[in-house]
Amino acid sequence: MADLSQEDWTKQLHADTNSVVLDVRTIAEVEEGVIPNAIHIDIYGGQEFINSIEQLDKSKNYFVYCKAGGRSGQACAIMNQLGFENAFNLKGGITEWEGEISSI
């Protein structure tokens, strides 16, 4: 897992043709807006979260975010334990995000 600044996270995301953006916030938070093309898996889902993560392609690179960076850091750590080699946490989360936000 790597904690990346918004600048580094964005730069790596846009340069990566094998990337997936993963939003681990609650559905109520997601309804406030998402980073475009993000898939949503709520980290508070317990075993459902683990099951959903295990269905993802481990060969992809995951750019993970939450509201402030804490939950997404935990999600990256869980992903690493499950065999994902490339999970990148957005420090500061969507709260500090200066890029595009779309509605669901």
| DSSP per-residue codes, 31-51 | TT-B-TT-EE--GGGTHHHHH
Tell me how far apart the alpha carbons of residues 2 and 86 are, in angstroms, rounded to a whole number: 8
Most distant CA pair in the chain, distance: 33
Catalytic residue among 66, 76, 87, 90: 66
Is 76 annotated in the active site? no
Tell me how far apart the alpha carbons of residues 52 and 102 are, in angstroms, rounded to a whole number: 23
Active-site residues, by number, are 66
